Amino acid sequence: MHKVHNFSAGPAILPQQAIDAGVEALKNFADTGLSILEVSHRSKEFVAVMEEARATVKKLWNLSDDYEVLYLQGGASTQFLTVAYNLLNTRASYVDTGTWSSKALKEAKRLGQVEVIASSKDRNYCYIPKGFEIPEDSDYLHITSNNTIFGSQYHAFPDTNVSMVCDMSSDIFSRDIDATKFDLIYAGAQKNLGPAGATLVVIKKEILGKVSREIPSMLDYNVHLSKDSMFNTPPAFPVYVVLQTLKWIDQQGIESIEKRNLEKAELLYKEIDNNELFKGTVDKEDRSFMNATFLLNDESLTDDFMNACKEANISGIKGHRSVGGFRASMYNALDLDSVKALVNVMQTFK
């Protein structure tokens, strides 16, 4: 079977060792004689998985006991509302850099005053706003670290005394960051961490319990924290595969992963810039190292280029339906050889 080069934006490519471990757990989980799809989430075998999955996140980011880790259901989209339920008391500040940040602020507006303090909507989200004022009386600042659809990314995070919340769904653990700059980080697993179904939430505990509203139990972080992510049945299999991915990240080392991700991105962007058939869609200083978006200067060649990619076993290169063009998602588990294969197609097509 020929290797398929998986550039899908999500559900996305996973490390082979995480997939292999998942397959084994489907057949016989932790020598129980049962599939992980069958065991109780209260069993000592799965509780050990959950505890390790939470602890490994803290290890990778060197987080103190001031922080706690949750695995929830509902994806990042549920977190758009959950964040506001738990943190929005008077007013919140949002930076609008794309589709997902727009959806996040839309949900927050249901619960209180939300101010868009900066936006790149004026140029179709092709850059990251900089130098904006952050109101000191904000309950929190919300940003989206990487914009999967439009292909922009924060390469430096704001400095602020305001609690900072970040949706890191598509670039989590792709680079070395100081996670303590943030008071809450959330990420749908399916873009760079694991299969769809699990959502990672990392919270600095001191920011909770300050709103006056009553919070529905399923949206209350304190409820989930009190039950160690077991308030309801967790997504057991996705959490297990996330753990295997976290182990792989730990073995590789985040600095090594970042170096490889930069190498992949630089190779592709160099071809986009040097090949007269193509053009990038994002200001160079704000280009995403995870999701490279680009267009053909002659759109009539689109079908031909897609066919050329298909012949080279390149999958998932089509841009999001809302923006068109092409998108190469170069998540952690994607090999440099896959990017070389795409660049070769672009050169041959030229």
User: Which residues are catalytic, by number?
Assistant: 100, 167, 191
260 CB contacts (<8 Å, ≥6 apart)? 336
Displacement of CA 47 from its chain's centroid (Å): 25
Contact 41, 233 (CB under 8 A): yes
Q: Which residues pair with 165 in a beta bridge?
A: 142, 184
Question: For residue 234, is it left (φ>0), alpha (ψ between -120 and 50) or beta?
Answer: beta
**Number of neighbouring beta carbons within 10 Å of residue 278:** 19
- Tell me the two tokens of residue 246: 């976290």
Token duo for residue 182: 């943030």
Write the single-letter amino acid at 331: Y
